[in-house]
Amino acid sequence: MPYLLAQIVFGLLAMTICLPSMQEWGEIFSTDATRVQLTFSVYVIAYGMSQVIYGPLSDRYGRRPVVLTGLAIALAGSLGAVFAPGIDELILARAVQGLGSGATMVVGRSLVQDFFAGPERTRVMAFIGMTMGVCPPLATLIGGQLHVRLGWQANPALVFVLGGMLFFLAMRMLPPGGGSAAGDTRWVVGMMRAYRALARLRVYLLHVAILGASTGAFYTYLAAAPLVLRGYGVGPDGVGFHVMTATLSYVVGNFMTSRLIRRLGDQRLMITGQAITLVAVILMVALAGWPSALAFSGPALVLGVGHGLLMPPTLSGTVGAAPALAGAAAAAAGLVQQLSGAFGGYSVGWVSTVGSLHVALLLTGFTLVGIAGQWGIMRLNRRGGAAGG
């Protein structure tokens, strides 16, 4: 279990540990903020898109060779970032980092399907959610300290060391086989067949829609937090505390899931999570006129609990919809999450961030999409059609 958790959060750590350094990269490399922002954007895009390829490859050729290949690419990108002489080289290195790190996420989720079943699988997903909730604030905190004490290169150097450890552990702990020899020998054709099969599974598509809506809402909150909180008089030194409390409440929700899953089951947990999420966004809209930062971050605490109850069974549902295509299922779901998150963050620029009302309405929109997906799953269950389209 510890290795599985470490593998899944590796890409998220590599994504966020360099965030504190971005404040000074413009001055260090004599460039503008737009090019500095690209160091993050190219990582997210490569990280999401690569999962679509790694998933079917892991189904066909096995988990170990795919994750070893991905880690080797991530190690090369991390080393390139350490020695990057300019911003262009750093952007390229970050893209290579993301391209390799995508394998650890999608293969990690697939391994959950391989080794766990039923309520235990959802319970494992809850532990994964708790770890992923802690990772971004912890990585940002570590990255800031390393930047100040040792220089910004210490962050990609740490990623290189951790990636090397994961590479060694993967060679020792993962079975060499596990892939399916069936199907077309041309993996691209097999990949397209896998995604066509998933596209015909309505229950899978509905679970992915819920994942995308929840991730989009969370990224919307993260992107809007500095801008909205500034209007409430919260400076840069205080933003992290508001973000951290919302993230930690997500961890609490995942912990609750690990305790309740055997008693309530996946569907009841998902419905409970949706209800709590809806209460959170309604509360944020209602408190929008209150002249306190808690009008924004207070309801986000409730939102985090709702998502913590909702995400583990939803993730379990995506990889469980078609066990033979677990790698492809995890990959497509991961891509949708990344794209939805990017859209959520970008959508903040469309609305006013003076006060919390407009951002609260954005969050409500994402939440309603998730509830619509939940209603669709309930209809399929009532008709006994959860196995197909």
Per-residue tens of pLDDT for the chain, all 389 residues: 677 788 888 988 898 788 777 767 878 888 876 677 678 778 878 887 888 788 778 877 778 889 999 999 999 999 999 999 999 999 999 999 999 999 988 888 777 767 776 777 767 767 777 777 778 777 777 887 888 889 889 999 999 999 999 999 988 887 775 555 444 456 567 667 777 888 888 999 999 999 999 988 987 887 677 678 778 887 655 666 777 777 888 888 888 888 888 888 888 999 999 999 999 999 999 998 888 888 998 999 999 999 999 988 898 888 777 777 777 787 788 788 878 877 777 777 788 878 889 999 999 999 999 999 999 999 988 877 444 44
pTM, 2 dp: 0.69
Distance between CA atoms of residues 152 and 384, nearest Å: 55
Residue 376: both structure tokens together: 């669709």
Q: How many CB atoms lie within 10 A of CB 171?
A: 13
- CA nearest neighbour of 84 among 100, 71, 97, 73: 97
Query: What amino acid is encoded at 144 in this protein?
Result: G
Domain final residue pick, 174, 204, 222? 174
Long-range contacts of 189-193 (CB under 8 A, 24+ apart): 190/56, 190/60, 191/52, 191/53, 191/56, 191/57, 191/328
If asked whether residues 350 and 259 sit together in one domain, one would say: yes
Residue 183 lies inside a defined structural domain of this protein:
no
Residue 186 lies inside a defined structural domain of this protein:
no
CATH number of the domain where residue 42 is located: 1.20.1250.20
Distance between CA atoms of residues 112 and 122, nearest Å: 9
If asked whether residues 218 and 331 sit together in one domain, one would say: yes
Residue 182 lies inside a defined structural domain of this protein:
no
Quote the domain boundaries for residue 217: 194-389
Residue 18 lies inside a defined structural domain of this protein:
yes
Tokens 């966004």 sit on residue:
281
pLDDT at residue number 184: 45
pLDDT at residue number 247: 80
